[in-house]
Structures are given as C-alpha cells and as structure tokens.
A and B are shown apart, each in its own frame.
Chain A
Amino acid sequence: MNYWIYFSHYALFAIICWLICMLFQVVKMKRSKMLPILFFAVLGGMSMIVFTFNLWQHLDRPPMRTLGETRLWYAVFLPVIGIITYIRWQYKWLLNYSLVMATVFLAINYFNPDTYNKALMPALQSVWFVPHVLVYIFSYALLAASSIVACYGLFEYYRGKYKNTILQLANNLVYVGFGFLSLGLLFGALWAKEAWGHYWTWDPKETWAMLTWLGYLIYIHMHYRYPDSVKPVLVTLALAFVVLLLCWFGVNYMPSSAQSVHTYTNG
C-alpha cells in the first residue's frame, strides 16, 4: 500500500501545530510561554515521526533512497534540533527557522510527490545503509542550522548589535554537526569496502563529501586560532555551507557526474 497517500494529512497537522507554536510566541501571556510553545512544536514533530515510521513499515525498505524520502527526514530532524536548542538556550528564532524549513520541505514533497517505488537495488541492502544516510542527514541539518546562525550573526554584526553568544551557538552546532559529518564519511568508507571492494574511489559525490568536510575543518581551525575574530570566521561558515549544498544537490549537474554511482534519481 502506498502510504504516501496519507502524507498530506500528517503534514497539514504538523504545520498547523507549528503555526500555533509560533502564535504563542507573539501572544501576550501572564504565565510562562515556554510550555505551550514546546508542546505544539513537539506535537507537530511527533506527527511527522509517526508518518515516517508507518511509511517505513509499508514500504518494506528504509525510506532513504529518493529525494522525497530524504526531504521527509529533514522535516523530522530539523524540528528536533530546533526544539533541543530552544530547551537548552531559549533561542526562539532558531526554533522558528527549523520549523519553517521543515514546512518548506513538507510543501516541496506535497507539490512534487515521489513516484511510489518499492525497489531497492542489491548494493543498498546493507546494514550500513540506514546509519550512513541518517547520520549524514542529521549532520546536514545541524550544519545548515549553524550557517543560518552565522548569517544572523553577520546581520547583527553589521547592525552593531552583535553578541558573542551567537558565535558560541554556531560553534556548538558546528562541532556536533561536524562529528556526525565525519561519522557519515567514515561509515560510507566502511560500507564501500564491503560492497564495492574499496573504501575510497574519488567518486564525485565522495569527493564533494570530502570537500564539505574540509570546508568545516577550515572553519574549526580558523576559529581556534583567532577566537575573537568574528567576520572572517562567519564568512567561512557561510562559504562552507555553499560547499555542502554543492555536494548535496550540485553533484548531479557537474560534468563529472556521469561517472558517479551516487547520482540520485526520482524513480
């Protein structure tokens, strides 16, 4: 059964919850607003988690192959990151950013539905498939969040209202995101050895994954060397995100992509 037919129900419910969450942020209340804000954010998140779980059951394979399926995982992970950072540091804008981005991904899926495809090629039938993809998606979500923080930081810097806490938040997100990025890269290498015979073949997707890794590596080292520097470091963070996007989407359009085993298709 194509469980995607229920997608719009779950997605609409999640989006409504998140709208209510944002509504609570502007409404004036005597009591602490944190509880209702969190409640509706979490409720929306749960809706998408339940949908993804059910989809996995009905699809007979992990829903991690097509672009539509990966967009679904972002709609799951981004709210989780937004909620956790909100609980930890009370940054409302990061929570809102993650909910809006999740909504964008849900909308894209609604207007551009996946073709229903149960097939999973033999090379993807491995214990490494799920950890490799999940870890990468989670790291991308974290690094995307850190880059938004960087842009926000640059914006505040030019307005003269820069606070050091902004860079601290970006840093925290980058360290955790980079850890997951490294794991994704290493899991991919270990899987490649079991499936293809070699752990690194400079396939264009692999090369761009390494480039993303190097980009954030440069940021981490630059920030370590000059911890008080703001502008160059934030710019590096924004640039590193561009490399990430190139790796995620751009590889399909590059001249080298004809030789890649990673070129994802819609079918």
Chain B
Amino acid sequence: MRIVNLENQIVSKKKLWQFPWDYKESFIIAAGLLITGYLLQVTTRTSIKAVSAPVNYIIGALFIVMLLLLHFTSRTHPWVKWLRSVPASVSAIVLVLIQAIIMGTLPQQNFVEGVKPDLFGFSFVLTSWPFIIAQLYFLTTLGLATLNRMTPWQWKNWGFILNHLGLFIAMTAGILGSGDLQRYTMKLYENQLVWGAENEEGVMVPMPIAFELTSFDMETFAPKLALADITNNSIETKGVNALRMISKGDHYDYKGYKIKIVNYIEDSKFTGNGYFPVNEEGATPAALVEVKSATIDTTAWISCGSFATEYSYLQLNDKEAIVMLQPEAKKYSSHVNVYVKDGENDKTVIEVNKPYKVGGWKVYQLSYDEKFGKWSKLSVVELVRDPWLPVVYCGIFMMIIGAAYLIFKGRGTVI
C-alpha cells in the first residue's frame, strides 16, 4: 500500500505495522493466531468439550458485551478500525478456510478419552484449539463490521445487515447451542414399551417420554437384476440395463444376453423345487428368468433371499451369473404409541422426512434392522432436543432474504 499525497504523487511506501493496517499485517496476525492454536493443541493434547447451559449463555452475553464495548467506546481506535476492516475479515475467513480444508480432506473421528489423539488435532478439528481460535477471530471481525454498519442506522444498508447479522446470529447460536444439543437413539421393538434412550457414547439415559412400537411398515421398490462376477463377488454397474428393476413380462438385452422376466412373485418362499407365493414373514421376491444368447438358453428361478429363505442365482458360465439384488426401501415408518410422563399420551406415525414433535423433542425415523428388511421387528428412532434452534433459524432466515437481495441486485448491491 502506498501513501499518496494531495497531488496524487506517491510519497512513500507504508511501513509494516504503521497504521492503518492492511493485508500484510492482517495475515501476519492470522498466522500468529494459527501458530498459537497449534501450540495450544500440541501442549494440551485434548479436545475441547462444548459448554452447556448456563455457561454458554454467559459466554455468549460476555462476547456480545465485549463487542459492543469495543465498538461504542473505542470506535476510532486503530486496532478496532483494523478489526472491522476488510483485510482483517479476509484473513479471518482464510483462517477458517484452512481449518475446514483439513476437516474436509482427512477422516474425522470423535475424540476418545484415553486413546492418544493425533498431535495437531487433524482428526478432530471441530474440537481442537486452532478451530476455536479461528472461529473466535471470524466472529469478532464479523461482529464489529456489522455493528459499524448498523450505527448510525441507514435503511439502504438493509441487505448488508441481513447478510452479516444473520450469519453472526446463526454461527454464534450454532456454536454456543451445540452444548445444549441432545441427540439420543431409541431402539424400539414391536410391542415393547421403551423409556430409555441411548446417547452417542452408548450410555442409557431415562427419558420423560416412552414409545411403544405397534408396527413397523416398509414399502420397497421392486428388486433389480444384475450381472455378477462370481470370481470376485462384484456387480457390473455400467450400461443402461446394468441394474434393471424387475417387472413381469419385461424383456431386454444386456451384454449379449437376451433376458426375459417370465414370472415375478413379490412375496415368495422356496420349497424344494421352486418359489411359491406365500403370505408369511421372511417372504422374499423371486423371479423366473429366461436367458438366451449364442451359447446359452436357459430358464430358472432366482431370488435375493431373506433371513428365512435361501437366495438363488442363475450361473451363465465360469465367471458370470445373473443375480437379484435386495430390494431398496421406498418408504418406511413406525406406528407408535407415545406415553408422556405427566402429560398427554398420543398415537402417531413417524416417517423419514416427517419427524414427530413432543414436549420440546423432535423424533426422527432413523433406521431399522436391515437383515430383516421390511419384516424388521426393530425400529430405531432418534430424539433431538435443540433449544437454541429458533435463534439459528432466525439467522438462517435473515440470510435467505439476504441471498435473495444479492440475486436481485446483482452488482448494484450496497456493500
């Protein structure tokens, strides 16, 4: 950056650390913060646990008060002017970027007590010192820049404020709120009343809400036919007809074979010499397949099998076979009775993408016993309690409007 005098002549090059600070100073400071973070991480060799209520509320309040004080009492101080400047914010964004790159490239795992963690926290970036420091720096520059644009209030800045304040609110609430986030899983077996849930570490936690699974329902797509290599147990996935969904009467060509589905039973059982339709637990799809080619002309029953019935495949030669894959889930849900301690009982259906709300908790359909497929007697639900969510949603909603502002104004935005 060059110092320019009134006649627009270059007078002298700005010295490092001479105010106002620009990109060079910002990146040096950011580098310093990065090194500090890693030094802290290396010396403490620990992960930082999220703080929960009331500590997170106190920290949040203190942080905001600090920003307000900095802005209103020292608005013209060179350090404060630099902290809210664009170069400072760019260096803060880069600092977060570096942490996110590590997190997005290297496998992450939860920090396990007792097991010696990696030195720099590369496998648990989210709870390591460098990440926390980067976020703190980011939120500080963001908060001060936002405050500066909000005072004195000018309506023309509405887009800027929505975007920046929205991000500040969403990020701060997300970080502070993570300590109050409760996520538990409940394994529900048919006709069993379950009061206890399990947390991430597998510890049982008694809940004020109990669930009784009356039935687990699942609809599947028709299974697919595939060409398998029996020497290495792999499935051929290339080509338009590589994984063709079965339907009775269908016929198609694939890899030189003419394939025809002569018959298809959705629920069947193998008995001695073939598959027959049944209405029993463990019933499995089966298809009578005709395969013709230059070297082969054969018809046989194949099935993906289940826990109750054997699978069968059609061997074409030493290497290839036609197999039926397990049908994929189309829709699954749990019919449950809900019992609330000191509250009203209820009856509902919990489905994927349609969580159920009860007493400050949201209940999600998570998974089932895949070995049993649609005959699963087990349904796993997840209970989530997120008290800071309304604040995060507030920030997200502000950013959505801010994004629409960017789209409509294009380059004409007031930035």
- Chain A interface (Cβ within 8 Å of chain B)? 2, 4-5, 113-123, 125-126, 168, 171-172, 175-176, 178-180, 182-183, 186, 189-190, 193-200, 202, 204, 207-208, 210-211, 214-215, 217-218, 220-222, 224-225, 251, 254-256, 258-259, 266-267
CA gap between A202 and B362 in the complex, in Å: 21
Q: Render B360-382 as a binary contact track against A, CB cut-off 8 A, 1 for contact.
A: 00101010000000000000001
A221 and B106 contacting across the interface, CB-CB below 8 Å: no
Task: Report yes or no: B415 in contact with A119, Cβ–Cβ below 8 A.
Answer: no
Given A119-B245, A190-B396, A210-B100, A221–B89 Cβ distance below 8 Å? yes
Report Cα–Cα, A181/B116, bound state, in Å: 39
Residues of chain B within 8 A of A210, CB atoms compared? 100
- Point out the residues of chain A lying under 8 angstroms from B364, CB to CB: 195-197
Q: Are A254 and B105 in contact (CB under 8 A)?
A: yes
Q: Measured between alpha carbons, how far is A103 from B227 in the docked complex, in Å?
A: 32
CB–CB B107/A258 < 8 A: yes
Determine if B239 and A175 form an interchain contact, defined as CB atoms under 8 angstroms apart: no
Task: Kindly state the separation between the CA atoms of A217 and B167 in the bound complex, as whole angstroms.
Answer: 12
Interface status of B240 (Cβ within 8 A of chain A) = yes
Q: How far is the CA of A183 from the CA of B181 in the complex (A)?
A: 25
A60 to B372, CA, bound (A): 27
Determine the distance from Cα of A154 to Cα of B212 in the docked complex, in whole angstroms: 65
- Residue B115 interfacial (CB < 8 Å): no
Minimal beta-carbon separation of A207 from chain B (angstroms): 4
Cβ-defined partner of A217 (8 Å) among B93, B181, B241, B407? B93
A180 to B404 CA separation, bound complex (whole angstroms): 8
Contacts of A218 in B (CB 8 A): 90, 93-94, 97
Give the residue of B87, B353, B362, B386 whose beta carbon is less than 8 angstroms from that of A225. Answer: B87
Contact (Cβ within 8 A) B392 A199:
yes
- Does B396 contact A197, Cβ atoms closer than 8 Å? no
Contacts of A214 in B (CB 8 A): 93, 96-97, 100
> Which residues of chain A are near B108, meaning CB under 8 Å?
202, 256, 259
Q: Is the CB of B104 within 8 A of A211?
A: yes
**Interface of A (DSSP majority class):** helix
Closest to A112 in B: B238
Cβ–Cβ contact A195 & B239, under 8 A:
no
What CA separation (Å) do A245 and B384 show in the bound complex?
A: 34
- Out of B90, B126, B240, B242, name the residue touching A221 (CB < 8 Å): B90
Instruction: Let me know if A197 and B93 touch, CB within 8 A.
Output: no
Q: Closest CB of chain A to B352's CB: distance in Å? A: 4
CA distance A241 to B110 in the complex (A): 31
Contact: A180 with B407, CB < 8 Å?
Answer: yes
Asked if B90 and A204 sit within 8 Å, CB to CB, the answer is no
Cα-based distance from A207 to B366 in the complex (angstroms): 23
Q: Which residues of B contact A220 (CB under 8 A)?
A: 415
Cβ contacts under 8 Å, A195 to chain B? 352-353, 364
In the assembled complex, B24 has its CB within 8 A of some CB on chain A: no
Given A114-B240, A121-B328, A198-B183, A172:B396 Cβ within 8 A = no
